[in-house]
Chain A
Amino acid sequence: MPFNLTLSLRFSYLIFTMPTHLLFLYLLRERQKTPFNLRPVAIFTIILCIALICTLSSCTKSPEPLWSKNELALLRSISLSSLSPSPKAFSNRIADNPKAVAFGQALFFDKRLSRANDFSCATCHQPELQFSDGVARGKGVNLLARNTPSLIGGAWQSWFYWDGRRDSLWAQALIPIEAPDEMGGSRTSAVRLIASDQGYRKQYTSLFGPMPPALLSNDLPEHAGEFTDAEGKNRWFRLSNQTQRAVNVAYANIGKTIAAFERTLTPKAAAFDRYVERLTSDGEEAASALIGTSALRGAKLFIDVETTRCLQCHNGPLLTNGGFHNIGTATIQFFSEQGSPGTLHGQPLDFGRLFGVQAVLLDQFNCQGPYSDAKPEQCSTLRFLSRQQHGDIAGAFKTPSLRNVAQTAPYFHNGRSNSLKDVMQHYNSVASSDDNELIALELSEEQMDDIIAFLGTLSSPTYTEFDQQ
């Protein structure tokens, strides 16, 4: 409402109420002369004034606000200001130790952990791509089956891998090092690297104490490990239980330092977070300069559960519920599109969480295993692990965070979608069936574009301090 109009309204209010005021003053004067009950007149005058003020204030009210109270609460719930400190990593006692962070950072970028000195963790988790790799499926020594996830915000996650087959960052970090298709190294070669590199050995000793003699001995095979190629496995199973255990302790410690580094990769504020902050402090008009109109419409759609249902799985400040859901990306229907119905042409059928549940229970590096620093009762994710074998976990994959989503294409567990538009079209056209949890959305092209514009406001600056490593 322009200032002048407000002023003129206030002026007309004064003129309008003047007779009432005069009447009131007159009656007061009369009362001094003769006893007279003033109360009904006074009450009438007060009511009249209140009614007038209410009428006038509704005239001066600003236009309908963009966000309802409920929408504002939802916007705040997905903005970074709602992010609580990362949960304590009970299974890793050095998770927040700065010395471990520095050691873990060095290991994360060290190609000597791979068999041919050609891959490090950062080969696939590239800082400039928000610690993802920009290709549909990861590629180490060989092409892998699944898309490489971003590591940003990993400290808040309970499960790792698309199927959740590991329950901590450190248990996850142990897999690629010796997987033959990934870095192709082994746990004994990793331990030997720490033992032989003077700097590493010093860092290791200051965190975990001296390495036992068995690990410093030349008898320790160069390439042996439980999940390596056949040659490495053969050597591993010939080692004594005692040596295996000593290697596993040191190997777990290597994972724990890498995890300490990965825990520092916290999400940075994006345009959307600044918008919500400004909205709270200075109101809609001031905040609107921080975000485009299409993105604003997209944000409104995103939090509209009835229309888009996005929030069901992408909720909270990391825009993930940390759960596993079947969204029809691994069904027979998908195969009938790709090849002949009923055959397994194309990519292998991926059962996702169905096998992930079994794998994490068998993992000796899990939270309740001998290499964990947690008390068994501190391992909530394992204690309350849902083991039901119902259809809802077959073909279910972990909900990824949408933070930086525009910077981390391709999408879905197998990278089947190259663009966010393609992703939106999947949600719009998926066939509802018993095979998945989705009901196809009915979004227009414009609505999809608006949601994609909103997703673009979740992009944040990359971690540039690691680019030169």
Chain B
Amino acid sequence: MAATAAKFMWQQTTLNNFYSVSIEPREKKIPIGEYHEWKIGLLDSRDNPVTEARISMNGGMPKHGHGLPSKPKITEHLGGGFYRIEGVRFNMGGPWVLEFRIDSASGQDAVQFDIELAF
């Protein structure tokens, strides 16, 4: 599973190193102005998939002073520590930030991804 997650476009360790988080949009080209899905993969510090996590997502464009135009939801555990994120919508190109808060038996932790979107 770790091998699959390694192919994801973005991968990062959480602030307290509790999790390794991988995220990827469903379509390679991230659309602007459309609701679309992402996938998030979680591994604990021993590289085991985390299957029962509560994940919340937030974000925005801190440099522009606004949040995400929608409130995405983590709707489903797809198996093997992968979860489906629905309702992601970006409304412009530029520097976006996606934040995830993760809570499971391994502890509470958070991670932030910087994503530069083209118009």
Q: Which residues of A contact B (CB under 8 A)?
A: 74, 77, 305, 311-313, 315-316, 321-326, 380, 383-388, 390, 392, 434, 436-437
Contact = CB atoms under 8 A, between A and B. Distances in A.
A430 to B, nearest CB: 13
A392 B91 CA distance: 15
B102 to A, nearest CB: 20
Contacts of A77: 119
B65 A437 contact: yes
Nearest to A436: B65
Given A380-B35, A384-B72, A384-B73, A392 B67 contact: yes
A383 B119 contact: no
A311 B35 CA distance: 19
Interface string B70-96: 111100000000000011010111100
B71 A386 contact: yes
Given A384-B89, A388-B67, 18 more contacts: A77-B119, A305-B93, A313-B92, A315-B92, A316-B32, A321-B32, A321-B33, A321-B92, A325-B66, A380-B35, A380-B87, A383-B86, A384-B71, A386-B67, A386-B69, A392-B65, A392-B67, A437-B65
A390 B92 contact: no
Interface residues of B, number: 22
Contacts, number: 69
Which 3 A-B residue pairings sit nearest by Cβ, starting from the closest? A384-B87, A321-B91, A384-B70
Given A315-B32, A316-B33, A434 B71 contact: no
Contacts of A386: 67-71
12 contacts: A305-B94, A311-B93, A311-B119, A312-B94, A323-B69, A325-B66, A380-B35, A384-B89, A385-B71, A392-B66, A437-B64, A437-B66
B75 to A, nearest CB: 10
Contacts of B65: 326, 392, 434, 436-437
Interface of B: 32-33, 35, 60, 64-73, 86-87, 89, 91-94, 119
Contacts of A315: 32-33, 91-93, 119
Contacts of A392: 60, 65-67
A185 B35 CA distance: 37
- Looking at chain A's contact residues, is the secondary structure mostly helix, strand, loop, or mixed? loop
Contacts of A436: 65
Contacts of A323: 69, 91-92
Contacts of A326: 65-66
A383 B33 contact: no
A343 to B, nearest CB: 26
Contacts of B32: 315-316, 321
Contacts of A387: 71
A436 B89 CA distance: 21
A400 B69 CA distance: 16
B38 to A, nearest CB: 12
A385 B33 CA distance: 14
Contacts of B70: 384-386
Contacts of B87: 380, 383-384
B99 to A, nearest CB: 13
Contact of B35 (A384, A388, A390, A434): A384
B70 to A, nearest CB: 4
Contacts of B68: 386
Contacts of B71: 384-388
B92 A312 contact: yes
Contacts of A316: 32-33
A380 B71 CA distance: 10
A125 to B, nearest CB: 24
A390 B69 CA distance: 12
A383 B73 contact: yes
Contacts of B60: 392
A211 B65 CA distance: 51
A436 B64 CA distance: 9
Nearest to B91: A321
Contacts of B93: 305, 311-312, 315
Contacts of A325: 66
A316 B33 CA distance: 8
B67 A390 contact: yes
Contacts of B89: 384
Nearest to B68: A386
A311 B119 CA distance: 8
Contact of A322 (B64, B73, B91): B91
B119 A305 contact: yes
Residue of A74, A305, A321 contacting most chain B CB atoms (<10 Å)? A321
